[in-house]
Chain A
Amino acid sequence: DAGITQSPRHKVTETGTPVTLRCHQTENHRYMYWYRQDPGHGLRLIHYSYGVKDTDKGEVSDGYSVSRSKTEDFLLTLESATSSQTSVYFCAISDGAGTNSPLHFGNGTRLTVT
């Protein structure tokens, strides 16, 4: 919602394969985020971007990389998928960082690594 589209919505892949998830926004927001959501852990930040080609790591970034070549697109790549990366992945956007800048989330990608 709020002009955020995640693709694919569901994916099953095998251990060791690379996987790329896409987040596309039409809001022209500067900040974009990738979170994963797991039972008992809540939402945890993987990587975020504060502008085109400007990215930084979150708290669970190992095994993931990101790229942002355009304002509207933020890609998350699992370089060699593992079963521990089975999760629901959410992209979020905001027009500011920190205080009073709420996040607008996409509807998630459910990834299963077998």
Chain B
Amino acid sequence: TQLLEQSPQFLSIQEGENLTVYCNSSSVFSSLQWYRQEPGEGPVLLVTVVTGGEVKKLKRLTFQFGDARKDSSLHITAAQPGDTGLYLCSRTGANNLFFGTGTRLTVIP
């Protein structure tokens, strides 16, 4: 099993606060993807990171890939209610993506 651990499992914050969620593995990733899933919908890709130490920004979201390519973080600045959802990380297998169990984020207005 390609185990991916995400933390925290649940996070509830006030609008305007900053937050960071994490994705960790004991194995090295060739690449890692972050998805966001809203209730009643399928996950939607946010970003793919490939290079150790890579940082990518998507508006208020900052994604970092660890130097050793075993972990990743997602930082959200000034969270908004529209950021509410389930954040999933995934890593590539031979013909598959393996997913973590996700961080469920609630941003309270």
Contact = CB atoms under 8 A, between A and B. Distances in A.
B40 A103 contact: no
A103 B97 contact: yes
A102 B95 contact: no
Interface in A73-107: 90, 92, 97-100, 102-107
Interface in B37-54: 40-45, 48, 50
B50 A98 contact: no
Interface stretch (A14-22, A35-43, A62-70): A35-43
Contacts, number: 62
Interface in B61-76: none
Interface residues of A, number: 28
Q: Which of A33, A45, A48, A50 has the most CB of B within 10 A?
A: A45
A4 B40 CA distance: 15
A45 B96 CA distance: 8
A67 B92 CA distance: 24
A98 B1 contact: no
Contact of B95 (A4, A56, A92, A106): A56
Interface string A5-42: 00000000000000000000000000101000000111
A101 B35 CA distance: 13
A98 B98 CA distance: 11
Interface of A: 1, 4, 31, 33, 40-45, 48, 50, 56, 58-59, 90, 92, 97-100, 102-108
6 contacts: A40-B101, A43-B90, A97-B94, A99-B30, A100-B31, A102-B48
Interface of B: 1, 30-31, 33, 40-45, 48, 50, 88, 90, 92-102
